[in-house]
A and B are shown apart, each in its own frame.
Chain A
Amino acid sequence: MNRFAELLDRLVLTPSRNGKLTLLTDYFRSVEDPDRGLALAAITGDLSIAAVKPAMLRALVVERMDPVLFGYSYDYVGDLAETVSLVWPQPQGHIPNHAPTLAEVVGRLQAASRSDGPKVLSRLLDDASISARFAIIKLVTGGLRIGVSARLAKQALADLGQVDVAEIEELWHGLAPPYTELFAWLEGRAEKPTSAALALFRPVMLSNAVDDGDLEKLDPADYAAEWKWDGIRVQAVCEGGVRRLYSRTGDDVSGAFPDLAAAMNFEATLDGELLVGDPREATGTFSDLQQRLNRKSVSPKIQQQYPAFMRCYDALQIDGDDLRALPFAERRKRLEAFVKTLDPSRFDLSPLVAFSDWETLERLRQAPPHPIIEGVMLKRWDSPYLAGRPKGPWFKWKRDPHTIDAVLMYAQRGHGKRSSFYSDYTFGVWSGPEGSEELVPVGKAYFGFTDEELREIDKYVRDNTIERFGPVRSVRADRRNGLVLEVAFEGLNRSTRHKSGVAMRFPRISRLRWDKPAAEADRIETLQALLDG
């Protein structure tokens, strides 16, 4: 338990992806079964433990200490799990004879009935160190929130076994905690696990961005073009009555889209884009799609207002035939015939875009027929369906980004290599009537600039600081003084969380406009027009 607790403590404060991977692989390498598998399940969200409500936790602790002192403590720390882990009084004269393992903790929590749950939890906390108490409370209150995705955990496993992460994703849904057979394979002690489970995820094929000069080398006749839909990449799998809707990384998202899952009454594995609307009539915008994202449960009203459908563009399997080795042209034919047999309100076909040369396609790309299109996809007619991101068969050619001139308002220190640099920038645009304009923050960006530019901005921030709050500095920014940043972004969403009412997607610094006076930066109306357009 202590090693798991230590891992959580480190992960939560380690910002870099590589740093997290090192910590995870070291943990998986050095900890034995079944503890490491249970830790893995806790991180990927595959560990089921009956949840304890915060009120219960608070009740347990004030039975054991002065409520006034607990109140002072909680006010100071601000996080209930952390406060309880710190103040939990060890019973008088109680010396735990050994630190429980993660397996023991999980075992005791899973075996606890609803009525004796609190008692079991108290005993565990009595026996644990402060860090371990924090980890236990995180396990029972649900959601570790340590900044590690299931995908990253799988990457760490891939690093451990020197295998491709796609292999792990393909196996994943056939496995269960504590994943003993998976670790045995990764350590070369056993064969790769085989799974008889149905409707497993198949790793998806990804594309590369078109770079300067790429197209000149390619023959347009070798490629099919499609619109690039800005929805959610999904894989719909139905096998022997089992239905699963997977995200691009193999997470099961069926629960969030019950309306679409209900229409999956076929034997196939389809690749496509999840969008909202009725494909026979109109496709929803990204703002509409947002109504269906990040929801634990979906009300019937929302399902009706924003119905989910799938725009299919590939078939990996139809009626038991694995099509992945076939050329795209062949798969496409099978797909076209197959989609016709499906519920037309839930499934349609992503149309091909006819073009004869790159110039024609370029014109089409610049003026797509729907706002949720973010460019075109190029797929080689003869390419098989390959897991991962092979270079050559698939390209994405995105619409040029939007840009805006904004003024630097706040800068925050970075981490790791950037820990002595102010490298995260909050920028704003002008709002309000003429003569009393004010900057309103519209986004935050921390890349897009060169190392040399980073040094220049860092110096500017240090020389123009007006206030400091911890690692954040507020930078002089008014009509006469300020650094103008050209910010590129992919799109805008409405946001109730930001004062400006907009949230940028994928913002990055595209240019430093040392030459431009702050007063000439853009106004909020420019962004609002983009939102309405």
Chain B
Amino acid sequence: MFKAMRASDLLKPRPEGLYCPPGDFFIDPVRPVGRALITHGHSDHARSGHRSVLATQETLDIMGLRYGEDFAGTTQAAAFGQTIDINGVAVTFHPAGHVLGSAQICVEHGGKRIVASGDYKRQKDATCLPFEPIRCDVFITEATFGLPVFRHPPDQDEIARVLKSAAQFPERSHLIGAYALGKAQRVMRLLRDAGYDRPIYIHGALAKLSEYYQSQGIDLGKLEPGTVESRGKADFAGAIVVGPPSAFADRWARRFPDPISCFASGWMRIRQRAKQGGVELPLIISDHADWDELIITIKETGAEEIWVTHGREEALVRWCELEGIAARPLHLVGYEDEGD
């Protein structure tokens, strides 16, 4: 008699990451493994040193930019919607809306379908394909912002606040802290969509990835290095500068006149976080789903069971219980919130 497979036999947490025994592969492993399927290019999900990597072309390109071309033994590009057979397990990549190239990975075998969504968001983002809800038996969701306090406002409203502040303080510069992959390019694109057409100054750490985004047809307008030593302070009056958040505490930031420090992150929803970080203008722009997006997505997948990972698992598990949906935290280690 054919017996339906148990979900926990199809994917299970191991120290290296989420493992599929019948397919003999890992999803987003945090240590080098034989075969890795990778959802997106953030460094806590995409590590170097695997024997073979299956990911979207964009994710492979990004890994190449970050780690060098020899980041894995062999690579294979997965096209969205195309099913690939791995040792009898059907694997399909679907857009996750997180950053350029980001994917959810649908794993199907023995009548069970599990979607590992990686990191995702539902807000519109001109720098990547939108998330597609996939019907499944088990949905694995992130919970970075898995508390009812996290409600991300429309991103264009946040960008409007920067532009208003730039008009209010024309003699000062605005330094926007944004992670190098995804957030930085999204912020630049939002500035362009809001009609900002002056050059945007960028920190060196953003150059390669931004250039790659532009090569993929994502127009970020004129970008100039914010690193030219010879430039006088006055030249940066009124400038908008984008860089990794760590750089703003650095001596690098001294070249800019009386900077207003801005930080684009979902964490900026909490005032105390902004205050502690010395952020004067918090921009609540996140590449992760907020509370409302998490619960709407769970409902849309129709999943009868939810596995919750990296973030505030307990609140989301509690919500599922109240809704009569089976849920449990999936204790995976090694994931930080690099993307926010």
Instruction: List residues of chain A with CB under 8 Å of any chain B CB.
Output: 6, 9-10, 12-15, 19, 22-23, 26, 65-66, 68-70, 72-73, 76-79, 82-83, 86-87, 130, 413, 415-417, 419-421, 470-471
Contacts and interface: CB of A to CB of B under 8 A. Distances in A.
Given A19-B260, A65-B148, A69-B318, 8 more contacts: A6-B161, A13-B274, A14-B280, A15-B280, A66-B319, A73-B148, A417-B258, A419-B248
B270 A82 contact: yes
B203 to A, nearest CB: 13
Contacts of B169: 19, 22
Contacts of B148: 65, 69-70, 73, 86-87
B272 A130 contact: no
B88 interface: no
Contacts of A419: 248, 253, 259, 261, 278
A6 B157 CA distance: 12
Q: Which 9 A-B pairs have the closest CB atoms?
A: A420-B253, A86-B149, A87-B148, A470-B276, A72-B315, A73-B149, A417-B258, A471-B278, A13-B280
B1 interface: no
Given A86-B149, A87-B148, A79 B248 contact: no
A13 B272 contact: no
B251 to A, nearest CB: 6
Nearest to B255: A420
A481 to B, nearest CB: 23
B286 to A, nearest CB: 14
21 contacts: A13-B271, A13-B279, A13-B281, A13-B282, A69-B315, A72-B314, A72-B315, A73-B148, A73-B315, A76-B270, A77-B272, A78-B272, A79-B271, A86-B151, A86-B269, A87-B149, A413-B249, A415-B278, A415-B280, A419-B261, A420-B252
Contacts of A417: 258
B322 A13 contact: no
Given A13-B279, A416-B258, A68 B318 contact: yes
B250 interface: yes
A187 to B, nearest CB: 19
Interface residues of B, number: 41
A85 to B, nearest CB: 9
Interface of B: 147-151, 153, 161, 165, 168-169, 172, 248-254, 258-261, 269-272, 274-282, 312, 314-315, 318-319, 322
Contacts of A23: 168
Contacts of A12: 271, 275
B269 A72 contact: no
A479 to B, nearest CB: 30
B171 to A, nearest CB: 10
A419 B257 CA distance: 11
A413 B315 contact: no
B325 to A, nearest CB: 14
Nearest to B251: A420
A468 to B, nearest CB: 10
A68 B253 CA distance: 43
Nearest to A22: B168
B136 to A, nearest CB: 25
A15 B282 CA distance: 14
Contacts of B252: 420
A46 B138 CA distance: 57
A79 to B, nearest CB: 7
A65 B276 CA distance: 29
Given A13-B279, A76-B149, A87-B148, A82 B258 contact: no
B149 A83 contact: yes
Contacts of B250: 420
Contacts of B275: 12-13
Nearest to A89: B148
Contact of B322 (A15, A22, A66, A73): A66
Contacts of B282: 13
Contacts of A87: 148-149
A12 B259 CA distance: 17
B278 A72 contact: no
Contacts of A73: 147-149, 315
A83 B291 CA distance: 14
B280 A72 contact: no
A70 B322 CA distance: 14
A65 B148 CA distance: 10
A77 B280 contact: no
Contacts of B258: 416-417
Contacts of B253: 419-420
Contacts of B281: 10, 13
Contact of A77 (B149, B172, B318): B149
Contact of A130 (B153, B172, B280): B153
A15 B259 CA distance: 12
A12 to B, nearest CB: 7
A446 to B, nearest CB: 13
A471 B276 contact: yes
A66 B278 contact: no
A487 B121 CA distance: 52
Contacts of A77: 149, 270, 272
Contacts of A471: 249, 276-278
B318 A72 contact: yes
Given A416-B259, A420-B249, A420-B251, A72 B147 contact: yes
B319 A69 contact: yes
Nearest to A412: B278
A237 to B, nearest CB: 39
Contacts of A13: 271, 274-275, 279-282
B68 to A, nearest CB: 30
A431 to B, nearest CB: 29
A415 B175 CA distance: 12
A415 B248 CA distance: 11
Contacts of B249: 413, 420, 471
Q: Tell me which of A14, A66, A72, A130 has the highest count of chain B C-beta atoms within 10 A of its own C-beta.
A: A72
B277 A470 contact: yes
Given A22-B168, A72-B314, A82 B251 contact: no
A188 B249 CA distance: 45
